[in-house]
Structure 1
Amino acid sequence: MLIIGNGRLLTLDPEAPYQEEGGVVIEGDQIVAIGPTRKLQETYPEAEFLDAGGRIIMPGMTNTHMHLYSTFARGMALKDPPPTNFLEILERLWWRLDKALTLEDVYYSALLPLIECIKCGTTTILDHHASPRAVRGSLEAIARAVEEVGVRTCLAYEVSDRDGPEIARKGIEENVEAIKKYRNREGLLSATFGLHASFTLSDETLALCREAAEELGCGFHIHVAEGIQDVEDALERSGKRVVERLADKGILGPRTIAAHCVHVTEREIGILRDTGTMVVHNPESNMGNAVGCAPVGEMLAAGVIVGLGTDGYTCDMFESLKVANVLRKFVSGDPSAGWQEIPTMAFTNNTRILQAFYPRPLGRLIPGAYADIILVDYEPPTPFTGENWYGHLLFGFHGGRVNTTIIGGKILMHNRELLHLDEAAIAARARKLAQKVWERF
């Protein structure tokens, strides 16, 4: 048993989001109590004590759409002309990179961003993987990395027809095996059924995926209307827009994540709401790919559950929070926009989304929740209260301020030092592998 105390306790529990002084009691991988430090020490005299030293004690940040496999793209030069639209970005970069990955590449390209997650305080991610020439065993390779590093991760393989029916079949099988092994069990790992996007999936493949998912009782994790090309393809295939086509094919529902939803209409927003489909906004990625900005205000106002992710652009969710905030203001032309929507996405809706994949609460410091906790170096320059905590977090926090990261009750980083991994050795091996990937690319 461990008490983390003597800190400013930001629980993110809507009923009591902040205590000026407090602590958390951990037993195994879950929180058993919160409260004033002295009272906790009196109640649990046998517990070890970790002194937060006045730091912020808060839940780890969560990322509901991530691509670990994108790691080896960092610093890589394209020999083709620069892409001019989203489809060319996929064709000239991502669909060539994923084909160049071996199982060892998959493993190492997961290790490094998972380590980055620890260092910037992101304790849970929903990953979305592709490696068409190394499909079988790829999710297990990521699972090995997850267990070694210790970041809570939901696995998914993105099924696609772009590499032919045999690769699509292998992708379906990879999802099924991971879901059977990891879903609805305790521990770091979970799994769901990954799909790439409507424009790379035939009606026949969607039907096979739906049938497999129905037998497993799960939903999907799929890119939806990220670029306008997805919309154009859906209209050409079916005479319907992306959300309409996916709804007709039985892909949407309360266990499905529709990542992006940049190009959706009012009618499609209504379908997302009525089906209970969850959406994840990825502001940095959308800006970087120049695809537009999702109508997050309209979706939230309509009652759609919209969470916040990074699409692999960063591991730092504090960074994503800041970008989501300024993008909302810029697009709307309203300097007050986003003030309620962004924390709702990051701290309320991400928690709701994760309930579909894990048996206990995440993103809250409450009894019964997973003990995924970070300590943040932050000395407030102005009063810090239960009413204004978000203003402090938005403008004062970043991943580099994270001092300590605890996931599942295990201290993985303390005083900015990783306690269980040799990051330099892992990075050295990754660099050698990345060079070979670039050559194959």
Structure 2
Amino acid sequence: MFLIGNGRLFTRDEKNSFFENGAVVWTDNTIVEVGDFETLKKKYADAEFIDAKGGVIHPAFINTHEHIYSALARGLSIKGYAPNGFLEILDGLWWTIDRNLDNDLTKLSAEATYLECIKNGVTTIFDHHASFGEISGSLFAIEEAARDFGVRSVLCYEISDRDGKEKAHAAIKENVDFAKHALSLKDDFIKGMMGMHASFTISDETMELCRKEKPKEIGYHIHVAEDILDLHRCLKEHGKRIVDRLYDWDVLGEKTLLAHCIYVNPHEMDLIRDTNTMVVHNPESNMGNACGCPPTMEIVHKGILTGLGTDGYTHDMIESWKVANILHKHHLVDPGAAWAEVPEMLFQGNARIANRYFEKKLGVLEKGAAADIIITDYIPPTPMNAGNLNGHMLFGMNGRSVVTTVGNGKVLMKNRELQGIDEERCLAKIREGAARLEKKING
């Protein structure tokens, strides 16, 4: 049994409770009690104590759209790469990387990602993987890393016809094999989805095969209207908008996650809402790729379950919150925009999305919920309470404010030191893998 205490505790539950000097107690992977520190310390005197040292005790973060396969790209320079537009970014950088990934490099990419997740207080991710250099077994390689590092994960493989039918079929098989494997597990730690790249790289023939092969218990994870090119091709080749095409192929539904949704209209938003489909916003990636600003505020106001992701651009959820906050203010020329919507996406939206796959309640500190807890070193210079927490986090913290991370009841990082992982050795292996990838790409 463990007890974290001696800090300002925020539950993020329906009551949004705040304890000036709070504590949370857990055993195995489940929270037992939350409350006043002195009271709980006496009640659970034998529990192993972790001192928050006056910092903030808070639920760990959830990232609803990651790209593990991009992890080894940091600092990579590809000969001749000078993109002009989104398609050239995809083909010149990301598809070039994934075509050169084998399962060893995929696992190293996962280790690099999970290491960063832990350091930024992220204990649950939805990943969207691609490694056309080696497809079979790639999701199982990621699962190994997820278990080694203790980060709860929903995994899928990016189905696409961009490298031919044979690889598209192999991608479908990897999704189906892994999804069936995940469904057979009893630990509520690893789940599977049916991954798809985007409408513009998936033929009707492949859509039909996906529909036929997908296990009924899971949904799809797909990029939607990330760039105007996706919409234009769908209109030209299929005579309909993207969300309509997905609806016709039975892709939409309560277990399906649509990433981006930049170029969707009100009719498509209604269709997403009426099918109870989920959306995830990735502000930094959209801005970095110059794809445009999605109508996220309108999507949220429509009542669509919307989460916040990073698209692999970062693993710092507070950073993505900061960017989303100013992006929509700037885009809408409205200083009142995004104050409430973005934290709603990050805290309530991401938790609700995750709980469409995981049974144990996530994203809150309350009895019976998953023991996913962080401590930050933030000491407020002004009064702090449940009503102004978001302002303190937005303007006073970032991911590296996290000093201790607990995931699924396991202490993954304590006082900024990884637990059970030799970080120096791990990073040395990752650097070796990144050098090997660069050599494969540039010769």
Q: Determine what percentage of the aligned residue pairs are the same residue.
A: 48
Residue 34 of structure 1 corresponds to which residue in structure 2? Answer: 34
TM-score by length of structure 2 reads: 0.97
Residue 336 of structure 2 corresponds to which residue in structure 1? Answer: 336
For residues 359-417 of structure 1, the C-alpha deviation after alignment (integer angstroms, 9 at most, x for no partner) is 11111111111101000001111110111110001111111211101111111111111
The AA in structure 2 aligned to 1:13 is D
1:42 CA drift (Å): 3.2
For residues 243-270 of structure 1, the C-alpha deviation after alignment (integer angstroms, 9 at most, x for no partner) is 1111111101111000000111111111
Matched ranges for 1:27-426 at <5 A = 27-183=27-183, 185-213=186-214, 215-426=215-426
1:340 CA drift (Å): 0.8
Distance of 2:279 and 2:159 partners within structure 1:
19
Contact 1:123/1:407 (8 A) holds in 2: yes
Paired residue total:
440
For residues 136-186 of structure 1, the C-alpha deviation after alignment (integer angstroms, 9 at most, x for no partner) is 110011011111111111111111111111111111111112112224732
The AA in structure 1 aligned to 2:172 is I
Distance 1:406 1:269, change over 3 A: same
SS at match of 1:100: coil
The AA in structure 1 aligned to 2:117 is C
The AA in structure 2 aligned to 1:97 is I
1:187 CA drift (Å): 4.2
Distance of 1:33 and 1:81 partners within structure 2:
54
Distance of 1:386 and 1:429 partners within structure 2:
43
Of 287-296 and 161-170, the range deviating more from structure 2: 161-170
For residues 195-249 of structure 1, the C-alpha deviation after alignment (integer angstroms, 9 at most, x for no partner) is 1111111111111111222x43211000000011110111112111111111111
Structure 1 stretches (4+) deviating beyond 6 angstroms?
none
1:436 CA drift (Å): 2.1
Distance of 1:219 and 1:188 partners within structure 2:
17
Distance of 1:148 and 1:435 partners within structure 2:
23
Distance of 1:81 and 1:410 partners within structure 2:
42
SS at match of 2:65: strand
SS at match of 1:216: coil
The AA in structure 2 aligned to 1:199 is F
SS at match of 1:285: helix
The AA in structure 2 aligned to 1:229 is L
TM-score by length of structure 1 reads: 0.97
Distance of 2:280 and 2:396 partners within structure 1:
24
The AA in structure 1 aligned to 2:413 is M
SS at match of 2:187: coil
The AA in structure 2 aligned to 1:198 is S
For residues 63-111 of structure 1, the C-alpha deviation after alignment (integer angstroms, 9 at most, x for no partner) is 1000011012111113225111111111111111100001100000110
Contact 2:189/2:358 (8 A) holds in 1: no
Distance of 2:263 and 2:9 partners within structure 1:
40
Of 204-213 and 90-99, the range deviating more from structure 2: 204-213
Kindly report the root-mean-square deviation, in angstroms, between the aligned alpha carbons of the 2 structures. Answer: 1.2
Distance of 2:80 and 2:186 partners within structure 1:
45
Contact 2:81/2:93 (8 A) holds in 1: no
The AA in structure 1 aligned to 2:157 is Y
The AA in structure 1 aligned to 2:65 is H
Contact 1:146/1:188 (8 A) holds in 2: no
Contact 2:192/2:218 (8 A) holds in 1: no
Contact 2:86/2:290 (8 A) holds in 1: yes
